[in-house]
Structure 1
Amino acid sequence: MSTEEFEKLHEMYRSLYDEVKLTPERAQRCQGEERKRIVRDFDERVSEAEEVLQGMEQELFGAPSSFRTPMSTKIRLYRRDLAKLQREIRLSATPGFSSHIGDGRQGIYANQNDQSTHLQSQRALLIQGTESLNNASKSIERSQWIAAETDQIGTDIIEELGEQREQLDRTRDRLVHTGENLSRSRKIMRAMSRRLVTNKLLLSVIIIMELAILAGVVYLKFFRK
């Protein structure tokens, strides 16, 4: 909505209304052709005012509800004021001694104005209802978009958790293999330790045997004669 354009139309309406609001009194003071001319000018200005009000309604289509609702109410009041002026101009343009036929025509005209005002009010309500439906549709679309986005996020999280589970399973398998390797390493270390002890014992026995042989050779060579 163009706030500037709406304000321009509002100023145009106020200017037209200020111009026509005193017309019933002028028509009451005039007679004959002068009165008819005043009534024709009045009808032209009222038609222009109606067009301006329609333009204001169109400008309200895209307005926020906080601005649209009070201004729609104000436009309905403007239409009521115009209808009231139209009734007054017809009454003031009719002489006091007018026939019952003239009164009947005035009544018909007043009823038509009332019906027009009612239709305009219904139209404004319909516009508001349409706007409310559009806003509700947009709200539903946003909710659906948020739900779809949330579902996608949930799917991504599930996939990520699945990948993390696979990584944990691989890590667990590696730990199991590492434990098995450590168990085999401990067995090899124990076997090597046993072999080392055995080798030490064999070496000790060999050393002792060599010392005994050396001692026997020394004895036979130096002490036995």
Structure 2
Amino acid sequence: MDNSPTALFDTYEQDFKQIIDSIRDKLDGEGRNERGEQRKAALRRVEMELDEADEMVSQMEIEIQSMPQSMKSSYSTRVKAAKADLVRYKKSARDQHAAVQRSELLSDVGGSPYRDSVSSETDGGRGNDRQRLLAGTSLLEDGSRRLVDSQRVALETEQQGAEILRSLRGQREQIENARDTLQTADRSIDRASGTLKGMIRRMYKQRVVTAAIIVVLVLLVGIILWEKLH
């Protein structure tokens, strides 16, 4: 098992590339030629794969936080490139989804009884066709606005997630700094304790030497007094 600090990042990046390749094939490759329900089903799969790719990018960002500082710069560049790919394919998916809706709307209008009998309809019938077309256009515009709103919410969520990650990173750095400070204080305490122990040993030695000197002096005084008296 690879325990390097970049192992999980590399795994998520590989999964992201595989998902992007699948999305590219559906949007720009052979899948682009599909029509009708097959095309709509392909676009639904693209939406799910885009969510998975977004999750992979989030995991990659999380893994960067645990890397050594010297490695973060190059891997952050790779994450930015992945985000750029993700944004580009999200826009392409929205555009193609809107194109499919527009095509279905025009197809419905073109295949309606009003279209088939246009030469025999009255002005009121042609007015109904126009109203249907306008209603369909309004519905399409409403769907486009909803897509824009969804994109805005997604971007806001992404920004909030990035802010949370930055906050967590700051807290982690504070914890690491506090840990380093405690380790430094612990070493200082150990040195101080050793110094105090040395001072205590020297104090005991000095006491012993002082006591010995006093005993010798007392003995000398006693000897001198004994000699004088006798």
TM bin, normalised by shorter chain, reads 0.5 to 0.7
Q: CA deviation at 1:130?
A: 0.8
For residue 181 of structure 2, the aligned residue among 130, 137, 143 is: 143
Q: Would you say how many aligned residue pairs link Structure 1 and Structure 2? A: 192
Counterpart in the other structure of 1:82: 86
Counterpart in the other structure of 2:11: 8
1:99 and 2:116 matched: no
Q: Distance in 2 between matches of 1:131 and 1:115?
A: 24
Q: CA offsets, 1:10-41, max 9 Å, x none? A: 11211221332364446776543343133123
Contact 1:53–1:75 (Cα < 8 Å) also in 2: yes
- Percent identity, please: 13
Counterpart in the other structure of 1:165: 203
Give TM-score scaled by structure 2 length.
0.64
Counterpart in the other structure of 2:44: 40
Contact 1:9–1:55 (Cα < 8 Å) also in 2: yes
Contact 1:23–1:38 (Cα < 8 Å) also in 2: yes
Q: Mean Cα displacement is larger for which, 57-66 or 136-145?
A: 57-66
Counterpart in the other structure of 2:123: none
Contact 2:16–2:57 (Cα < 8 Å) also in 1: yes
1:129 and 2:129 matched: no
Q: CA deviation at 1:72?
A: 5.2
Q: Distance in 2 between matches of 1:103 and 1:73?
A: 37
1:64 and 2:96 matched: no
Q: Distance in 2 between matches of 1:110 and 1:177?
A: 100
Q: CA offsets, 1:168-208, max 9 Å, x none? A: 1221231233244345556777899xxxxxxxxxxxxxxxx
* Closer, same or farther: CA 132–66 of 1 in aligned 2, 3 Å: farther
| Secondary structure of residue in 2 paired with 1:21 | helix
Q: Distance in 1 between matches of 2:88 and 2:179?
A: 44
Give TM-score scaled by structure 1 length.
0.65
* Closer, same or farther: CA 43–25 of 1 in aligned 2, 3 Å: same
Q: Distance in 2 between matches of 1:12 and 1:155?
A: 55
Q: Mean Cα displacement is larger for which, 127-136 or 98-107?
A: 98-107
Unpaired segments of 5 or more residues in structure 2? 107-135
1:17 and 2:26 matched: no
Q: Distance in 2 between matches of 1:88 and 1:52?
A: 19
Q: Distance in 2 between matches of 1:144 and 1:90?
A: 53
* Closer, same or farther: CA 54–86 of 1 in aligned 2, 3 Å: same
Counterpart in the other structure of 2:215: 177
Which structure would you say has the larger Rg?
1
Unpaired segments of 5 or more residues in structure 1? 193-225
Contact 1:83–1:117 (Cα < 8 Å) also in 2: no
Higher relative CO (Cα under 8 Å, sequence separation at least 6) belongs to 1
Contact 2:47–2:93 (Cα < 8 Å) also in 1: no
